[in-house]
Amino acid sequence: MLILGYYLVLSTLRTDFRIIFDRDPAARNWLEVLFCYPGLQALLFHRLAHWLYTIGIPFIPRLISHIARFLTGIEIHPGAAIGQGVFIDHGMGVVIGETAIVGDYALIYQGVTLGGTGKESGKRHPTLGENVVVGAGAKVLGNIQIGNNVRIGAGSVVLRDVPSSCTVVGVPGRIIYRSGVRVAPLEHSNLPDSEAEVIRALVDRIEWLEEQIQTLQHLHTPAKTPVLVGALATKEDDSPQDNPMCNLRDKAIQEFLDGAGI
């Protein structure tokens, strides 16, 4: 049994080490990865602290996690359960709470928070499935379930459960289904812009309504009668009228729809 335990620990550490070469093109050699990757170092500290925490050792696990935070900028509570092959890229500012569960082969970028939403006891942090990608600065809060193969866009705030094979973007996070489409874990920058799509739909709708109003105005405008001035007959008013329609596709809005942001 003891030999099996040692084998499982070594297998997990080997997977944590090798996944970096699969997911980071900047990883060149084992020496650089071992000494210059804070995500790997934080996981090594956490594996030890978590084992001490599970067997009931007081104080020491928290001290180890505090030292790891000082050295790496990554704070992982000893009680958090983290699967094998998890890669914390860069990692500065990452916070993982006590009852959080991170599935195998998750990819977590800097500034991510897997936190709670209050002082409730028991399970109060999120559970991430396998192959989950959490973009930089994203916040996943509360006792929620994140399914397998989920991608969470950078800066998103996720407060509700997310089914498997979905993409979540926005504040609060909105789910965009991608069923049957396999997405590479490093493709976290290729995310849809749901806000821009909604604004584009609203602009199209407003322009269509204005066109309908203009058409109705033309249909109900009475014919203008000519007025005699001296010996010449002229129309009542031939001066061009300004188009009352508001052209919403001006430069600022078009730039936003093209991805410039606000």
Q: Which domains are seen in the chain, by residue range?
A: 2-177 (2.160.10.10), 194-260 (no CATH)
- Cα distances (Å, whole numbers) of residue 47 to 142, 160, 189, 235, 248: 23, 29, 30, 89, 56
For 199, list phi and psi in degrees, rounded to 5.
-65, -40
* 3-class SS of residue 173: coil
Question: What is the value of pTM for the model shown?
Answer: 0.69
Task: Determine if the peptide bond prior to 163 is cis (ω within 30°).
Answer: no
C-alpha 45/C-alpha 209 separation (Å) is 61
For 64, list phi and psi in degrees, rounded to 5.
-65, -45
CB contact set of 107 (below 8 Å; sequence gap of 6+): 23, 86, 87, 89, 132, 133, 134, 185, 186, 188
Torsion of CA 213, 219, 222, 228, to 10 degrees: 100
Point out which residues pair with 152 in neighbouring strands.
134, 168
pLDDT tens per residue, the chain (262 residues)?
Answer: 657 656 677 888 888 888 888 888 888 888 888 898 999 999 999 999 999 999 999 999 999 999 999 999 999 999 999 999 999 998 899 999 999 999 999 999 999 999 988 777 889 999 999 999 999 999 999 999 999 999 998 999 999 999 888 888 888 888 776 654 555 555 555 555 566 666 777 878 888 888 888 888 888 776 555 555 554 444 444 444 444 444 555 665 666 556 555 4
